[in-house]
Every structure is written in structure tokens, then in C-alpha cells.
Amino acid sequence: MRRRLSLRARATLFGTLAFAALLTLGSFLLIATLESRLTAASDQLSRSRVNDLLALASAGNLPASLQNVDGNGVAQVIGADGRVVAASPNIEGRAAIADPRPGAHLETSTFRAPDDNEIETYRFWYASGPSPEGIVTVYVGDSLEAVSETSAALRRSLWAGVPVAVILLGVVIWLLLGRAIGRLDRIRAEVDRISEENLDTRVAGDGVDDEVGRLAATMNAMLERLDIAARRQRDFVADVSHDLQSPLAAQRVALEVALGRPGEVDRDRLRSDVLGATTDMEQLVSDLLVVASMDANGSPLLALLDLDSLVLEEAARARASARVEVDTSAVSAAPAYANADDVRRVVRNVLDNAVAHARSRVVITVDTADTIDPRADGESVIVGRAWAKLLVADDGPGVPPESRDRIFDRFYRAEQARSRHGGSGLGLAIARDLAERNGGRLDLVAADGGATLRLVLPVEPGFTLDR
């Protein structure tokens, strides 16, 4: 297979060719402009001399030798009979350079005429006017060879200068690209050495704040995200394995005891042990399915719903199996624009968490608010917009300071919660993710002397909470 040129070689080649094309075009334009300017200057001088000689002829002061002509020009004054009345020194004694062409207005023509011992091509300007001897015609011309020689000299300079400039530019492009691409190659080589086992490695920057430097920073940010994702995946597998191991071990022990002593089996206890472990595994699998669906699915289907009605239904469910009082006296009407299934799951998880940690009472408040109170850290969440708000407060031990920033992390459980209440550690993480997916927010707003969680949801479409 034919080997392609490297990026450095292609960029150098294309840049050099483009520069060469621009220089060539510029050279042609420069030569054309120079020739045009020289010709225009010569024409202006010739016209001025014609007018001056006509004025001298009219006044009868026309000299026989016309001295006001440079070495590149010729001048003649010819009478109506074709006799040369006056001439420039380089054509004195020569015949008329042209047949008289009387005319009061200036005209121009190009034709050949003598210059000392040579014949050259001139651009003549001529006009006729009166004199004491009658009508005379004045011819003043400038040699076109002067223009062509000047442009030829410029062409020779450009023929030598343009290739040198193109070559120098090609070398500069090659060196500059080599430096930039060398930095890119270094980044590529460093990233290529990073594998799943050393995702904590980062690309070494060179301190230059340019595109390559920003690429290195972007690569490091991406590696940081990959490292976090890999660690989360490892933690996820470890937590799932741990949480599945306990109920499986409990089932195994119960069944081994039953098989080892079949005559002493307590059927009710066996049923309770096996079904209890199965329920724990079923709850964990259900939570994992919710997590997977949230990660895989897009935006949910949103609609207007009655948050108060949904909360009362979930409170009734929690009250039926709870050992504590569930107070719903502060529940008032509060519409919300969200997905009903998602909101139901959020409310259920928050209530189950509160019931599990409460000593004797859980208080539920539902209303709407234009201004949401500051969070526990003092930062205001929402100001100046209608929101549906749910508060769930329990009278349990609260949340210890070291756990307040982590209670919404997946699989996180405080040690006291792990020992007293069990659970998978996914309930509040799922609740917060679902709240945010519906444009709302779930926060811990009180943590001492019991925990208070607050859910806020939008009451109209097209508006989400900035987090």
C-alpha cells in the first residue's frame, strides 16, 4: 500500500505551495502595476511637453533644438508642409518621424522612431496649434524600452527572490510544525502508555498556554473522568458483591441447617430466613435495575401531576407497615410538572429512609413556594420561581458530619445505618438522580436531632433547576 505523507510534510507542502501561489500572483500584479504607473507618468510628462511646445510655437519662441527632453524621449515639431521645424538633439537632422496629423486635441499612438543610431518604439502624444509660420504639429514620445527594461529588472529580481522566500518559508513551517507536532506526539505517547491499570497517570504539561497545552489539560480531565468511572465501577462491583453475599450466605446457612437436621427444622423460621434473604436480594436487584435504566435512558416523559395526592398515597403505604407515626397534617395542594413514576420512586425512597431512621415520628410537609430556604450550607437554592416542595423530617439520630456530603452517593451507608438498618445504600442516590432528571433537586437541609430531606420540583414545563 502506498505510504501517505505525514501531517507535518502535508502541511508544509500545502503551506509552501499556497505561499508560492500568492507570491507569484503578487509578483504579476506588482509588475503590471509598475508598468502601468511608469506608462502613466511618461504620458503625463509627454502631454505636458506637447502643451508647452505648442505655447512656445504660438508665441513665436520655439527654439530649433528642443532641450527639454530626457534621454529616453524624442520630440519634433513639424510644419503643415511636412518640414521639421524643431527637434530634440537625438534626432536633429532627421526626417519627420510621422506625417503631420493636425488636430487641436491631444492624441496618442505607438510607432517606431530613430534615437541617435537606433530605432526604438515610442509612445507618442501629439497635437496641432498655430505659429507665426502657420499650423504646426508637435510630437513628443517616450521610449517603451525604458518601461520594459525596468519591468524586466524587477522580473529578474522576483525570479531570484520568490524561490528563496518560498524555500525559507517552507523551512520555517517545517521547523514550527515539528515543534508543535513533537509536543502532540509526546502527548500521544504518554496517553498510549496509560492502561486500565494506571489510569491515575496524567499527561505532563509544558506550561505553555496554547492549543497543545489546552489539549494536554483536556486529556488530563478526560483521564480523571475515566479514572473516577473505573474506580466507581470497581466500587460498584465490590458493593454489589458484598450486598449479595450476605443474603446468599444467610440462605445457605438456613438450608444447610435444615438439611443437616431434617427432624429439627422449624419451618416458620426457615421460611422467614429464606424469604427475608430473598427479599433483600430482590430489593437490591430492583434498585440496580433502576440505576441501570437511569444511566441508559434519556429524558423521561413529563406531565402535570398532584404531588400532594402522590405523597398521601405513599404515606398511607408507609404507615401500614411502619412502627412509627407518619404525620401528613401539613400536606397541602402542590402541582408539579414531572414524571409520575419517577416522583413516586423518589417519595417512596425518602419516606422509607425516614421511617427506617426515625425513633417515633416522621413529619411530611407539602406546599408550593416562590422562594426556597437556604440549604444547610447557607447557599440559596431557588429564588423567584414557583416550585412544588416536599419536606420529610424524622426524629432519629440525624446524620453525622462525616456522612452529610456522602449520603447521596451510590452504595454509601454510614456505619450505624449499616449495622442497624441494612439496605443497599442506593435509595437516596436513586432519589436524587431521579429528582435531577425531572428538573428538580433533593437536598439534606437539616442533620442534627433528626434528618430533614427536601424535594423541589418545577410546576411548569421548560424550566429546570441550575445545580
DSSP assignment of 158-169 equals HHHHHHHHHHHH
Statement to judge: residues 316 and 389 lie in one domain: yes
Q: What is the side-by-side order of every strand in the sheet holding 452-458?
A: 325-331, 361-371, 383-394, 452-458, 441-446
- End residue of a domain, out of 99, 122, 150: 150
- Nine-digit cell at 259? 438439611
Q: Are residues 307 and 422 in the same domain?
A: yes
- Three-state DSSP class for 321? helix
Question: Do 350 and 449 share a structural domain?
Answer: yes
Virtual torsion, Cα 422, 426, 428, 429, nearest 10 deg = 150
- Which three-class secondary structure state does DSSP give residue 173? helix
Last residue of a domain, one of 292, 312, 346: 292
As a whole number of angstroms, the distance between CA 382 and CA 248 comes to 45
Q: What's the pLDDT score for residue 417?
A: 46
Write the single-letter amino acid at 145: E
Residue 451 in any domain: the answer is yes
Range of the domain at 216: 211-292
Give the three cell numbers for residue 317: 403505604
Q: What is the pLDDT along the chain (467 residues), one digit of tens a residue?
A: 456 777 788 888 898 999 999 999 999 999 899 888 888 888 888 888 989 888 988 888 888 888 877 767 888 898 888 888 888 888 888 888 887 777 778 888 888 877 667 778 888 888 999 988 888 999 998 888 878 888 888 888 888 888 899 999 889 988 888 888 887 888 888 888 887 777 778 877 767 777 778 888 888 888 888 888 787 777 667 766 666 676 777 777 777 777 777 766 677 776 776 776 677 677 667 666 666 666 556 667 888 999 999 999 999 998 887 788 999 999 999 999 999 988 998 999 899 889 988 999 999 999 987 666 555 444 445 555 578 999 999 988 888 877 777 788 776 666 554 444 445 667 788 888 888 888 888 988 887 788 899 999 988 876 555 54
| Closest by CA position to 85, among listed 50, 136, 141, 140 | 136
From first CA to last CA, the distance across the chain in angstroms is: 54
Name the strand (E) or helix (H) holding 56. helix 7-59
Q: Domain with 390 in it: what CATH number?
A: 3.30.565.10
pLDDT of residue 329: 92
**pLDDT score for 67:** 80
The verdict on 122 and 263 lying in the same domain is no
CATH code of the domain covering residue 126: 3.30.450
Strands (E), 274-406: 303-306, 325-331, 335-338, 361-371, 383-394
Domain annotation covers residue 278: yes
Final residue in a domain of this structure, among 101, 130, 150 = 150
CA 259, 261, 265, 271 dihedral sign is: negative
For 245, counting Cβ atoms within 10 Å of its Cβ (0-12 exposed, 13-18 middle, 19+ buried), the class is exposed
Residue 159 falls inside a structural domain: no
Is 5 part of a structural domain of the chain?
Answer: no
> Could you give the CA distance from residue 384 to residue 371 in angstroms, rounded to a whole number?
6
- Strands 136-143 and 361-371, sheet pairing: unpaired
Q: In this structure, is residue 389 part of a structural domain?
A: yes
The pLDDT of residue 332 is 92
Q: Answer yes or no: do 403 and 374 share one domain.
A: yes
Distance CA 16, CA 339 (A): 60
Question: Is 127 in the same domain as 20?
Answer: yes
**Residue 224 forms part of a structural domain:** yes
Q: Same structural domain for residues 438 and 336?
A: yes
pLDDT value of residue 96: 85
Burial of 284-319, coded b for 16+ CB within 10 Å and e otherwise, reads beebbebbeebeeeeebebeebebbebbbebbeebb
Predicted TM-score (pTM) of this structure? 0.50
Cell of 286: 430492583
> How many other CB atoms are found less than 10 A from the CB of residue 354?
26
pLDDT confidence of residue 351 = 92
**Strand (E) positions, 161-276?**
none
Does one domain contain both 450 and 311? yes
Inter-axis angle of helices 211-260 and 267-296, to 10 degrees? 160
Say how many C-beta atoms besides its own lie within 10 A of residue 30's C-beta. Answer: 15
Give the chain's domain count. Answer: 3
> Are 229 and 140 members of one domain?
no
- 376 close to 446: Cβ distance less than 8 angstroms: yes
Q: Is there a single domain that holds both residue 305 and residue 405?
A: yes
* 276 plus 313 within the same structural domain: no
Q: What pLDDT does residue 297 have?
A: 60
Q: Identify any residues that bridge with 126 across adjacent strands, giving them in sequence order.
A: 107, 139
Distances (CA, A) of 403 to 348, 379, 447: 22, 19, 10
188 in any annotated domain: no
Helix (H) or strand (E) holding 50: helix 7-59
- If we measure between CA atoms, which residue out of 306, 332, 287 comes closest to residue 457? 306
Name residue 68's amino acid. Answer: N
Instruction: Please check whether residues 115 and 257 belong to one and the same domain.
Output: no
Strand partners, 457: 388
* Beta strand pairing call for 361-371 and 303-306: unpaired
Q: Classify residue 173: in a domain, yes or no.
A: no
